[in-house]
Amino acid sequence: MSVDWDQEDPGFAPEATKEKPIAVPQEVLQALPLDWPRLSPRTPPERRWAIPHWFGYGHTTLLVGSGGIGKTLIAQQIASALALGKEFIEPTSPTRVLMWACEDDHDELWRRQTYIAQHLRVGLEAFEENFILVPRHGQDNALCAMSEFGRRPMLTPLIQTLTEQANDTHCDVVILDNVAQLYGAGENDRFAVTWFLNHLSGALGTKAILLLAHPSRTAGSEFSGSSAWENVARSRWYLGSSLPKEKPDPDHEVNEDDRYLCRRKANYSSKDWRKLTYSAGVLVPESLESVGGIVAHLREQATEKIVLEAIQKLASMGIYANEGTRSPQYLPNLIAQFKLGNGQTKPDLASAMRKLLTDGKLTKAIVGKNANRTPKEGLVIAQ
């Protein structure tokens, strides 16, 4: 596919630069109205996934996490799993992946890949065909910059290098690490962010794009800069040492090796998360007995079972819980207090409790009398 200079594209300002910026081919960007009569008798194609319900083709997924949390590691693991068609969170098929690692040198990537290969029980040569990993530490990696007078964003000649490398190697997935290296305009500039993400998708066409980024320093932040990062990306993941917005539980011992990969925005699927643990140089997803990839449903069932068993255990001690969040007998608090949760979080326990009540598997009953001899209600398993 040839690349033409686009003098009329308002996103470019060649008069302000020594080199003419490269325009995305017009046939990629051209928007034609839908031909309803032609489409009417047809069925639209199924949505394509690199990782089912997590990582889709034809748009950008944003992976956000603080420095040192393991973003590059998990991106390299995802690329490795896709290259071999190994399961990562969900089953995958062999897929050719291009990854630009802008913050790690050759030897660091080599060391990390050695651990990943050992985890997957293969030699490094197994990745030769399908995983193109490019160390770009110390290089100019900007795909987008502002014009000399700062009026408009523009693509740099490096976008052609990326596009040609992705096309020449026939990659279906492109992983870019990270925004701070690749994006040279204002991260708070809504127009510039939107323009960059649109042009990146246009340049890479139907490929699945994973773009790594850092959150701001603000407590609880899940991305940095304009909300356009969140809005334009069709999905966003967050990698952290705890679930987002979860208040620390003083009764729960924190494992510094635990990570949570959370699907925080998903235009084409529901929100979800996976717990991972750092071990032997890799982040290992929690072990779930998944059937047909219905992992979220299995987690719900497991949590419901924990709640029901906790109700029985507490009752055997003469303790009856309730669903009132401000009550000292609030069920999730009691489960945590007596360490009956098997690692489940209070929000998950609360969600399972509410579902069991809705489904009629839990019910409220008179379990005794209060000190003032009024009836005392508690949660019991429905008969």
**Grouped pLDDT means (10 residues each) for the chain, 383 residues:** 38 40 48 88 91 92 92 97 93 95 96 96 96 96 85 91 96 96 89 92 94 77 73 88 69 76 79 87 72 53 88 91 86 90 80 86 86 85 86
Q: Is 318 left (phi over 0), alpha (psi -120 to 50) or beta?
A: left
95's tokens: 């897929």
pLDDT of residue 217: 64
pLDDT of residue 281: 93
Nearest-CA neighbor of 332 among 353, 357, 301, 361? 353
81's tokens: 């799993």
Name every residue whose Cβ is closer than 8 Å to that of residue 123 and which is 6 or more positions away in sequence: 117
Backbone angles phi, psi at 128, to 5 degrees: -60, -45
The whole-model pTM stands at: 0.68
Name every residue whose Cβ is closer than 8 Å to that of residue 121 and which is 6 or more positions away in sequence: none
pLDDT of residue 229: 83
pLDDT of residue 373: 82
pLDDT of residue 131: 98
As a whole number of angstroms, the distance between CA 235 and CA 274 comes to 16
Q: Are 135 and 109 in contact (CB under 8 A)?
A: yes
As a whole number of angstroms, the distance between CA 157 and CA 135 comes to 19
Q: Are 138 and 172 in contact (CB under 8 A)?
A: no
Size of the chain in residues: 383
Taking residue 201's Cβ as centre, other Cβ atoms within 10 Å add up to 21
Side chain identity, residue 126: A
pLDDT of residue 341: 84
Domains with residue ranges and CATH for the chain? 14-26+47-285 (3.40.50.300), 295-381 (1.10.10)
Q: What is the dihedral of CA 40, 46, 47, 49, to 10 degrees?
A: -170
